[in-house]
């Protein structure tokens, strides 16, 4: 049974190989040849994909908040302009 530490080490290795430009298929073949459990390899890739998707959602959330803040500021400026004239 693999521990969380094993999954973390495997995840770090996969992330390093991806940063080096290796394709996911090549990494999977390499790990299977090293006799790493294919289910563990699939779990790692799914975890990396979920992490990347979550980071994208966080970026979009901040973009929406910034857009709403800019609209509120713009409306405030327009109201101030019309009230002061």
Residue 50 has pLDDT above 60, yes or no: yes
Sorted by sequence, the CB contacts under 8 Å of residue 45 that are 6+ apart come out as 14, 24, 28
Q: What is the mean pLDDT of residues 17-33?
A: 82
Residue 24 has pLDDT above 90, yes or no: no
Evaluate whether residue 78 is within a structural domain.
Answer: no
Evaluate whether residue 85 is within a structural domain.
Answer: no
Please indicate, yes or no, whether the overall pTM of this predicted structure exceeds 0.85: no
Residues 67, 73, 76, 82: what is their CA dihedral angle, to the nearest 10 degrees?
A: -90
Q: What is the mean pLDDT of residues 54-75?
A: 80
Evaluate whether residue 77 is within a structural domain.
Answer: no
Evaluate whether residue 13 is within a structural domain.
Answer: yes
Q: What is the mean pLDDT of residues 14-28?
A: 82
Q: Measured between alpha carbons, how far is 14 from 27 in angstroms, rounded to an integer?
A: 7
Evaluate whether residue 76 is within a structural domain.
Answer: no
What tokens appear for 42 in the block?
């699939």
Evaluate whether residue 74 is within a structural domain.
Answer: no
Evaluate whether residue 80 is within a structural domain.
Answer: no
pLDDT in the model for residue 25? 80
Residue 36 sits in which domain range? 4-60
Q: Count CB atoms within 10 A of the CB of residue 13.
A: 15
Query: What SS3 class is residue 80?
Result: helix
Evaluate whether residue 51 is within a structural domain.
Answer: yes
Domains of the chain: total: 1
């Amino acid at each position: 049974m693999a521990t969380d530490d094993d999954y973390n080490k495997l995840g770090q290795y996969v992330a390093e190989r991806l940063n080096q430009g290796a394709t996911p298929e090549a990494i999977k073949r390499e790990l299977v040849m090293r006799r790493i459990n294919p289910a563990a390899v699939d779990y790692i890739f799914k975890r990396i994909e979920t992490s990347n998707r979550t980071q994208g959602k966080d970026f979009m959330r901040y973009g929406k908040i910034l857009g709403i803040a800019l609209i509120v500021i713009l409306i405030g400026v327009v109201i101030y302009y019309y009230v002061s004239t």
